[in-house]
């Protein structure tokens, strides 16, 4: 039996891509393994958003090369494949730095993996495939199946906004939206094979503009008609692309969870303009208010970048003020990381690393306090929790509330994959505990 080991770096879209690459290799008879030493193919799916993510790749390539050489000593041939955004950003540079890599394939070409694997010839040398083909990769992938009760479904990828710090338009390309009927067909297949929750994915998911519907709001409403689909989520959103139809779907569609990830990046209009984010802080807050008007209990999360070139202490304090104004259930925050080839990497007035670190600590302290307060506010409530995995403690299983809070209970593992009623008895900044209500 041929086996493939897949390690994923980065976002949910990369997780989805890794699963689809596994599907593509499954056509050749490869099954997944969690043990690299067992694998005939070692596949690393990469992220290029931040410098640390890229550098982690080269460390992992070294570790995989050790596995590859150990297998070679046993007379076993092993392909080391690197896929994803790092390849798209510079596949030839990757091969120059990482001699152990056999095949490098960009995110728009992973449907070609079966062809690349079967035609690979060491005598002909290593292979890089990182173009932007005219055809959609989704047209060539095998039918997908659920891998648990909660599944990802890509509806859109790429981005046309060209934020000055971001590599996505260069690594994922311009925006592409899958047709509505194709999305719905995949959703039905996922539900038929066990999915109860589907997370719709896109680099600019609410910018979906494909055939067969007006916008993402229509896609959500059509998906809600699928028997057996109990939960719908979507990420990641661009604030100024929020339509009334998407917002009111949170009022009208019971299956749409009361949670929205709405990145702002900074609370300073000066910084937002330098970032080429096409909205102001006030416009962002107005969008939040519109969500809360139709769904008062909605949980809001966001992304923040601190230390963007030219960011002053006043700019940073405006970010802190916006966080206080909005009140977040959870958030992700990072120090600015200059990515080669982006306009921000060439900007003057780069912020000192020590200043970035200090600001990030202040911001994270505030965000963590808000997250803890939000979680503490659920104590005593009874919430529906989709159980998705075994917990770290014996007899424990865990899952997610409608507000995407990680929740632990002591219960039979037979409840995995089920939505159960849980009375919340405890909370920390990162998780909830509770007991199942009979």
Reported as a single tens digit per residue, the pLDDT across 121-156 is 777 778 888 776 656 657 656 678 888 999 999 999
**Percent of the chain clearing pLDDT 90 (strictly above):** 68
- Ramachandran angles phi, psi of 19, nearest 5°: -65, -40
Q: Which residues fall within 8 angstroms of residue 381, CB to CB, at 6 or more apart? A: 423, 424
Predicted pLDDT of residue 359: 98
pLDDT at 51: 60
Number of Cα atoms under 13 Å in the Cβ half of residue 253: 27
Residue boundaries of the structural domains of the chain: 3-129, 137-376, 382-436
What's the pLDDT score for residue 122? 77
pLDDT at 270: 98
pLDDT tens digits for range 330-387: 999 999 988 888 899 889 899 999 999 999 999 999 999 999 999 999 999 999 999 9
Task: Evaluate whether 396 touches 409 at the Cβ level (below 8 Å).
Answer: yes
Per-residue pLDDT band at 205 (split at 50, 70, 90): very high
Q: How confident is the model at residue 393 (pLDDT cuts 50, 70, 90)?
A: confident
CATH class of domain segment(s) 382-436 = mainly beta
CATH classification for the domain delimited by 137-376, as one of 3.80.30.20, 3.90.25.10, 3.40.50.1370, 3.40.50.1820 = 3.80.30.20
- Range 249-274 average pLDDT: 98
**Which of 43-47, 49-53, 304-308 is predicted with the least confidence, judged by mean pLDDT?**
49-53
Q: Which CATH number fits domain 3-129: 1.20.1440.130, 3.40.50.12160, 3.10.520.10, 3.90.1170.10?
A: 3.40.50.12160
pLDDT value of residue 137: 59
101-137 burial: b if 16+ Cβ within 10 Å, else e: bbbbbbbbbbbbbbebbeeeeeeeebbbbbeeeeeeb
Would the CATH topology of 3-129 be identical to that of 382-436?
Answer: no
**pLDDT tens digits, one per residue of 47-82:** 776 666 666 778 888 899 999 999 999 999 999 999
- pLDDT at 140 (0 to 100): 59
Taking alpha carbons only, the member of 377, 397, 400 closest to residue 389 is: 397
pTM of this structure: 0.86
Mean pLDDT score, 274-280: 97
What is the predicted pLDDT for the residue at 125? 78
Q: Which of 142-151, 198-207, 287-296, 371-380 has the lowest mean pLDDT?
A: 142-151
What tens digit of pLDDT does each residue of 219-255 get?
A: 999 999 999 999 999 999 999 999 999 999 999 999 9
| The pLDDT value given to residue 9 | 85
Average pLDDT of every residue of the chain: 91
């Amino acid at each position: 039996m041929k086996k493939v080991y897949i390690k994923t770096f980065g976002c949910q879209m990369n997780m989805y891509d890794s699963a689809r690459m596994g599907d593509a290799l499954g056509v050749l008879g490869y099954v997944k393994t969690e043990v690299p030493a067992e694998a005939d193919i070692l596949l690393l799916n990469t992220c290029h958003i931040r410098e640390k993510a890229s550098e982690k790749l080269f460390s992992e390539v070294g570790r995989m090369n050790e596995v590859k050489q150990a297998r070679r000593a046993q007379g076993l041939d092993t392909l080391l494949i690197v896929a994803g955004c790092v390849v798209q950003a510079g596949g030839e540079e990757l091969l120059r730095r990482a001699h152990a890599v056999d095949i490098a394939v960009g995110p728009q070409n992973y449907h070609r993996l079966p062809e690349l694997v079967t035609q690979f010839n060491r005598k002909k040398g290593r292979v890089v495939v990182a173009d932007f083909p005219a055809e959609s990769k989704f047209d060539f992938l095998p039918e997908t199946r659920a891998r648990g009760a909660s599944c990802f479904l890509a509806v859109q990828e790429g981005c046309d906004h060209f934020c000055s710090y971001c590599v996505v338009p260069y690594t994922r390309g311009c925006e592409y939206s899958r047709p509505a009927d194709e999305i719905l067909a995949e959703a039905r297949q996922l539900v038929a094979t066990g999915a109860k929750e589907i997370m719709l994915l896109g680099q600019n998911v609410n910018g979906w503009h494909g055939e067969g519907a007006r916008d993402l709001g229509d896609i959500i409403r059509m998906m809600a008609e699928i028997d057996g689909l109990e939960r719908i989520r979507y990420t990641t959103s661009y604030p100024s692309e929020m339509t009334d139809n998407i917002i009111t779907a949170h009022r009208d569609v019971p299956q749409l969870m009361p949670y929205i990830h709405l990145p702002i990046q900074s609370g300073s209009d000066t910084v937002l303009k330098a970032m080429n984010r096409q909205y102001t802080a006030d416009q962002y807050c107005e969008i939040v208010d519109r969500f809360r008007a139709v769904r008062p209990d909605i949980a809001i999360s966001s992304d923040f970048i601190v230390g963007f070139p030219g960011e002053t202490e006043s700019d940073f304090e405006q970010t802190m003020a916006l966080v206080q104004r909005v009140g977040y259930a959870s958030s992700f925050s990072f120090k600015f990381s200059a990515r080669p080839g982006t306009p921000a990497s060439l900007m003057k007035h780069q912020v000192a690393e020590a200043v970035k670190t200090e600001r990030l600590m202040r911001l994270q302290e505030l965000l963590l306090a808000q997250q803890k307060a939000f979680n503490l506010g659920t104590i005593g409530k009874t919430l529906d929790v989709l159980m998705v995995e075994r917990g770290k403690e014996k007899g424990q299983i865990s899952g997610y509330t409608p507000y995407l809070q990680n929740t632990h209970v002591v219960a039979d593992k037979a409840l995995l994959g089920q939505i159960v009623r849980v009375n919340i008895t405890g909370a920390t900044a990162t998780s909830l505990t509770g007991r199942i209500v009979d």
